[in-house]
């Protein structure tokens, strides 16, 4: 490391932070990066909304007595500030029950909450108000995804008083460009931002407003969660309408790969799996496999059977439909399939159909279960991710540590983290699909099964995979270096 970072103060605002709230990888990252930064000597304070699920997950959180006022639509609302700790980092919860005390973080069964714009306008204003209430002169305000994008605009707005954040630099991390926080332009007056920000050089996005774009335009620096995704999003094919803006900010955009928290995700210590195992002794994986098959109601297979797992949001992005389309041909081979996910009703229905058509061979659990996610990682032979795009992807990173071979699309962070296995040299950690299509998936899965049928090669692949280190150390240092460069500007 170049210089000591003891004096750097970070205020990190995220819409979800594990273990207090999580819908995907962002929650994991916002929960594991801050402790890693703290270990590097930085002071990190976190802020997030106090959702119903967070109130349950943080029973020891206490009311600080601080009160904030901010606008939500036409109303000024007050919020209480509650506090908990995450491995030594203070976590401040913005408690505004009318906005956040409900089932779901951003949506329920009937779709996105209609007041999401107000919920996150309020949250972004509360971030600045919190710094004022705490008199916390952060050097860096680190924002995550569209829900926090407006905070970058407030820091730059001539109409807001940033208080102790007057000298702060802002950094926005893009976890997924597909979530853009797009709302009607009539919302703009509710933001309290000056009219000049209601323009192409501001929040305006194809005739609407995008809260993500506020972050892309007004943050001092941008990161995304893998180097390859940083390149992809600057192209029309991967930019989702934001490629022009991102290309114009190329000098401010860096790809920093997400890290894994092996304290949570390691077969040697995992709290959720029936038996631990390690590269020196993989025997425990067998017990995990039996447990997995039982939980998913699948026929106990012989040792030659391949158990393939899918864990993730059931969204178009993740390609569960590609797996479903490939499944009838795939299941002609000796394969069991475990699918864990929740999401789009049409994909949930497709998964259910698949299980019905192949009883005993395909098991589907349509729920969000941390415990089952760990069990699939440990018990499966293959982790299938036929994603159409994937900013980083954590599942394949976890899978490597569990000696579970990732079968992934050659896109985004998947390409940065999975090395194709070469049977002639014995190098590599997984299998890549050229395109996210059923035929390519089948081809990659057959390659995986061919390898698995050769125990020496398979052992070699597993050991390669388990030896890869994606822990936060080096990547957290990259963030610290970036903060430092920003702070001296």
Note the residues at the interface with ligand ADP (CB under 6 A).
24-26, 28, 176, 311-313, 340-342, 368-370, 373, 392-395
**DSSP SS3 for 274:** coil
Q: Which residue is nearest to ligand ADP (CB)?
A: 25
The distance of closest approach from Cβ of residue 449 to ligand ADP in the complex, given in angstroms and rounded to an integer, is: 23
**DSSP SS3 for 74:** coil
The Cα–Cα gap between 41 and 7 comes to 8
**Which CB, 25 or 379, lies closer to ligand ADP?**
25
The Cα–Cα gap between 417 and 226 comes to 9
The distance of closest approach from Cβ of residue 349 to ligand ADP in the complex, given in angstroms and rounded to an integer, is: 16
DSSP code of 267? T
**Which CB, 24 or 149, lies closer to ligand ADP?**
24
The distance of closest approach from Cβ of residue 438 to ligand ADP in the complex, given in angstroms and rounded to an integer, is: 21
The Cα–Cα gap between 131 and 138 comes to 8
The distance of closest approach from Cβ of residue 382 to ligand ADP in the complex, given in angstroms and rounded to an integer, is: 15
Cα–Cα distance list, 291 to 284, 338, 342 (Å): 11, 12, 21
**Which CB, 134 or 177, lies closer to ligand ADP?**
177
For residue 1, the tally of other CB atoms under 10 A from its CB is: 10
Cα–Cα distance list, 117 to 14, 22, 24, 141, 154 (Å): 16, 20, 21, 21, 15
**Which CB, 26 or 127, lies closer to ligand ADP?**
26
The distance of closest approach from Cβ of residue 392 to ligand ADP in the complex, given in angstroms and rounded to an integer, is: 6
**Which CB, 202 or 403, lies closer to ligand ADP?**
403
The Cα–Cα gap between 258 and 149 comes to 20
The distance of closest approach from Cβ of residue 416 to ligand ADP in the complex, given in angstroms and rounded to an integer, is: 13
**Which CB, 178 or 331, lies closer to ligand ADP?**
178
Q: Are 181 and 149 spatial neighbours (Cβ–Cβ below 8 Å)?
A: yes
The Cα–Cα gap between 174 and 144 comes to 6
């Amino acid at each position: 490391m170049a210089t000591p970072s003891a004096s750097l103060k970070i205020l990190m605002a995220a819409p979800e932070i594990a273990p207090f709230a999580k819908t995907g990888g962002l929650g994991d990252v916002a929960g594991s990066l801050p402790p890693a930064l703290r270990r590097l000597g930085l002071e990190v304070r976190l802020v997030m909304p106090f959702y119903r699920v967070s109130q349950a997950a943080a029973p020891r959180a206490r009311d600080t007595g601080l009160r904030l006022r901010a606008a939500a639509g036409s109303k000024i609302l007050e919020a209480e500030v509650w506090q908990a700790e995450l491995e030594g980092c203070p976590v401040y919860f913005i408690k505004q029950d009318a906005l956040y005390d409900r089932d779901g973080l951003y949506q329920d069964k009937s779709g996105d909450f209609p007041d999401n714009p107000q919920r996150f306008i309020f949250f972004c204003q509360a971030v600045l108000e919190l710094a004022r209430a705490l008199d916390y002169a952060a050097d860096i305000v680190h924002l995550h995804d569209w829900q926090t994008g407006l905070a970058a605009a407030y820091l730059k707005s001539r109409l807001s008083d940033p208080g102790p954040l007057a000298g702060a630099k802002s950094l926005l991390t893009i976890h997924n460009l597909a979530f853009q926080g797009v709302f009607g332009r009539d919302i703009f007056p509710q933001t309290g931002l000056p009219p000049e920000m209601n323009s192409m050089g501001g929040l305006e996005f194809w005739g609407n407003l995008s809260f993500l774009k506020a972050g892309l335009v007004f943050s001092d620096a941008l990161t995304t969660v893998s180097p390859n995704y940083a390149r992809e999003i600057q192209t029309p094919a991967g930019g989702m309408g934001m490629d022009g803006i991102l290309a114009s900010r190329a000098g401010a955009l860096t790809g920093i790969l997400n890290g894994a928290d092996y304290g949570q995700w390691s077969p040697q210590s995992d709290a959720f799996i029936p038996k631990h195992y390690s590269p020196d002794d993989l025997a425990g994986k067998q017990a995990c496999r039996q447990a997995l098959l039982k939980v998913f109601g699948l026929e106990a297979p012989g040792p030659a059977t391949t158990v393939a797992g899918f864990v993730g949001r059931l969204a178009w992005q993740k390609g569960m439909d590609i797996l479903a389309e490939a499944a009838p041909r795939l299941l002609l081979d000796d394969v069991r399939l475990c699918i864990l996910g929740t999401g789009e009703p049409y994909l949930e229905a497709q998964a259910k159909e698949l299980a019905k058509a192949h009883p005993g061979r395909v098991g589907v659990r349509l729920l969000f279960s941390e415990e089952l996610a760990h069990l699939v990682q440990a018990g499966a032979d293959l982790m299938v991710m036929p994603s159409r795009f994937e900013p980083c992807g954590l599942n394949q990173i976890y899978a490597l540590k569990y000696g579970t071979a990732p079968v992934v699309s050659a896109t985004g962070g998947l390409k940065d983290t999975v090395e194709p296995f070469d049977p002639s040299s014995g190098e590599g950690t997984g299998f890549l699909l050229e395109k996210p299509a059923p035929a390519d998936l089948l081809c990659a899965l057959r390659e995986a099964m061919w390898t698995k049928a050769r125990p020496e090669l398979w052992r070699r692949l597993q050991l390669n995979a388990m030896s890869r280190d994606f822990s936060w150390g080096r990547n957290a240092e990259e963030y610290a270096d970036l903060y430092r460069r920003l702070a001296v500007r």
